[in-house]
Amino acid sequence: MNLHRSGTVFCFAFFIASVFAPCSQAQQAAPAASGARILLLPRRIAPGVTVNFSNGDRLTTDATGRALFVAPLNRGVIFGTIAGRAGRVATAILSPSEAASASMEVSSAPRVASLSDRFEILGKGFCGDADANQVSIAGQPAIVLASSPNALVVLPPTELQPGVAAVEVSCAKRRSPPFSVTFVGLELEADSSPLKPGEHRVLTVLVRGTTAKIALEARNLAPEIAELSGGNPVRGSSSGGAENLAEFEVVGRKNGSFLISIRLVPTLGSPTK
């Protein structure tokens, strides 16, 4: 995400979503030994989180998991980190002339997005204040988690159904032409009984909303309990077709509960009508 300095604030919940999400998943209460927990990247809010920036600024998120950040005066790269957490997110600081635009244009958007996870829209002419942007999906208002003049991070409406939907973006009397995104739901079929050492177990993910092959990523959040076949993380593709499935395998290392997250691998391209 690019920022620009012209007195406009930037809503930096994107940093929270990118840096904090894997840690927040891992810190969820461990399931009882009677079963496993497999996460399909549920919706997240991270209130009261302190974010440190490489230029010395420090801010704390509000009850919605967001905060407003004024971009620095100097062009270049700035990093955002969360206190006590590993990982950081980089973003470029643009000059006002680089970011200025009298019209709104969407240059990149996902072809496929998850119903339950954020997605990014790139372009120009957006508002730096997230709440000043309006994004509708299939006529329903979406939540803008983070924004800059060149990018938006959006969470789909909770009532959105799987399938192709029209997306519209507007801000300050500027409006982009509508474009289409395929939104998919992920459903898990798995045996939740205790996993024994050496036991192989297949996790099946059902993709709803498209018959196309979809790229997915599985990440093992409890490697001391189970091993994810193929590495960690491991990526795979769904089968495509009417019964659109993807399979991942875990192997027990010791008795206990395993924790696997499964997410859609985002791909951006030119927006399509």
Question: pTM above the 0.85 mark?
Answer: no
List the domain range (segments joined by +) for residue 254. Answer: 185-267
Taking the C-alpha atoms of residue 123 and residue 116, their distance in angstroms, rounded to an integer, is 23
Residue 5 lies in a domain: no
CATH code, domain with 243: 2.60.40
- Work out how many domains the chain is built from and give that number: 1
Length of the chain: 273
Per residue in 18-44, pLDDT (tens digit) is: 443 333 333 333 333 334 444 444 445
CA of residue 267 relative to chain centroid, distance: 12
Residue 214 lies in a domain: yes
Residue 39 lies in a domain: no
Residue 107 lies in a domain: no
* Distance between start and end Cα atoms, the chain: 24
Residue 129 lies in a domain: no
Residue 224 lies in a domain: yes
CA dihedral of residues 14, 46, 263, 144 (deg, nearest 10):
-50
Per residue in 189-237, pLDDT (tens digit) is: 877 777 889 999 999 999 999 999 999 999 888 889 889 999 999 999 9
Residue 197 lies in a domain: yes
Say if residue 266 is preceded by a cis peptide, omega within 30 of 0.
no
Residue 65 lies in a domain: no
